[in-house]
Amino acid sequence: MPTHDILPVPGGAPIRLWTHGVPVEDDARTQLMNTARMPFIFRHLAVMPDVHLGKGSTIGSVIPTVGAIIPAAVGVDIGCGMMAARTSLTAADLPDSLHALRSAIEAAVPHGKTFGRRDTGAWDDAPQAVDAEWRQLAGRFAQITGKYPKLERTNNRLHLGTLGTGNHFIEVCLDEADRVWFMLHSGSRGVGNAIGNLFIELAQDDMRQHIANLPDRDLAYFNEGSRHFDDYVEAVGWAQDFARHNRELMMRAVVSAARRIIPKPFAADVEAVNCHHNYVQRETHFGHEVLVTRKGAVAAHRGQLGIIPGSMGAKSFIVRGLGNEEAFCSCSHGAGRTMSRTQAKKRFSVADQVRATEGVECRKDAGVIDEIPMAYKDIDAVMAAQADLVEIVHTLRQVVCVKG
């Protein structure tokens, strides 16, 4: 049985899809074919099983390019990704009631509308920690804003160490041996969004004489050597570093909060993974240096650890890459949506959310219905479709979930 399907694209590069057993919406196929027709695609597009329609570019796609880069393909949630840490705790060490643990995490990590507030009682070194991380980022940011002063007027340092909203989350999980893990999902926040939007607009402006010839205006691109190309690569790289520092700060806050609630001393770095899934970087594939844009996809080079989360109430996975070159050494970044947030809110009720998240200490109200598990693909089917991309190292199940 073939591991993936090949979709020929008239006038473009072929598309390889690891989607056996999972649905692919027609609009997503059309969007993928538009991208495949760009003249600088290297060999083929690789499509992960969590694929679904996205803004600018299809989520769950791996786009290799030579001599050009598409800012909207990287998107505005630059460097969004996952971090997970296994602790020395087991399920038996957790309190009988997990509500206090969820509340402590919610107080320690600014999330949702509370991004400007930090509870230093829950995390005693929070201001100093944020300052220390920002000092590692500030010099390069000053160079970027020297050319693009608009970016100074963003939530940059203020958002460092904050979760955000939407599908960003913090979880306490148990693995197959009932060992406790902390896991979180977030990215470069407001400043990454501003960088993404600024350079998308610049690409469209630079191509204003040719944009009508593109399959989609969001496919506007910078040619290597053009006036904004190097600046964009530098800004995206900085945003990816911001996202990584952001996750590390939040993980420290989560661990600190947990130590206030769990009396047993514990280590929190038995195993650790920190990976992006919205980003671009230079890599070598098939003997050529290419720019690889992973839009809702994770690097899965041979031996590399990654994280593939399910939806609220579903399983998540710590995986090890198999280095499949046909997929440009990539895998999915999650389960992938089957419907929009608006559709989910119309179709499901709070009662549905309560049933779907039974056994998980989490919000169960109208504000999170758009994240209900039924709005996502079956994570087991997604994992089966990419069995030649990654191997499962740990299977996690949530017991606490904090949403933005």
Does residue 352 belong to any structural domain of this protein?
Answer: no
For the segment 371-398, the average pLDDT, to the nearest whole number, is: 95
Strands ordered across the beta sheet of 278-285:
5-7, 15-17, 45-52, 59-65, 288-295, 278-285
Q: Which residues are catalytic?
A: 333
Tell how strand 68-69 and strand 179-186 pair up: unpaired
Question: Does some domain include residue 363?
Answer: no
Q: How confident is the model at residue 255 (pLDDT cuts 50, 70, 90)?
A: very high
Whether 121 has a pLDDT exceeding 50, the answer reads no
| Beta partners for residue 395, in sequence order | 317
Alpha-carbon gap, residue 318 to 125, rounded angstroms: 30
- Give the pairing type, strands 315-321 and 330-332: unpaired
152 located within any domain: yes
Residue by residue, DSSP assigns 70-83 as: -HHHH-SSTT-EEE
Domain annotation covers residue 356: no
CATH classification of the domain holding 310: 3.90.1860.10
Q: Tell me if 149 is assigned to some domain.
A: yes
Residue 362 lies in a domain: no
Tell whether the model's pLDDT for residue 117 goes beyond 60.
no
**pTM of this structure:** 0.93
Encode pLDDT of 208-250 as tens digits: 878 878 888 899 999 999 999 999 999 999 999 999 999 999 9
Q: What pLDDT is recorded for position 120? A: 39
Contact assessment for residue 229 and residue 71, using Cβ atoms and an 8 Å cutoff: no
Please, which pLDDT band fits residue 314 given cuts at 50, 70 and 90?
confident
Angle in degrees, 0-180, between the axes of helices 229-261 and 99-108, rounded to the nearest 10: 140
What's residue 209's pLDDT?
A: 79
pLDDT at 340: 87
Lowest mean pLDDT among 94-103, 112-121, 155-164, 252-261: 112-121
CA distance 240 to 192: 8
- Report the share of the chain in percent with pLDDT over 70: 96
Q: What Rg value do the Cα atoms of the chain yield, rounded?
A: 21
Considering 90-94, 167-171, 352-356, the range whose residues carry the highest mean pLDDT is: 90-94
Q: What is the pLDDT of residue 281?
A: 96
Number of domains composing the chain:
1
Domain membership of residue 319 as a residue range: 5-338+376-403
With a cut of 90, say whether residue 53 has pLDDT above it: yes
Average pLDDT over residues 386-404: 95
Q: Residue 240 and residue 98: Cα distance in Å, rounded?
A: 33
Predicted pLDDT at 312: 80
In tens, the pLDDT along 123-143 reads 445 678 888 999 999 999 999
For the cut 70, the answer to whether the pLDDT of residue 339 exceeds it is: yes
Compute the mean pLDDT over every residue in the chain, rounded to the nearest whole number.
92
Within a domain: residue 251?
A: yes
Q: Is residue 358 part of a domain?
A: no
With contact defined as beta carbons under 8 Å apart, do 36 and 45 qualify?
yes
pLDDT grade for 331, boundaries at 50, 70 and 90? very high
What digits encode the pLDDT tens for the residues 238-247?
999 999 999 9
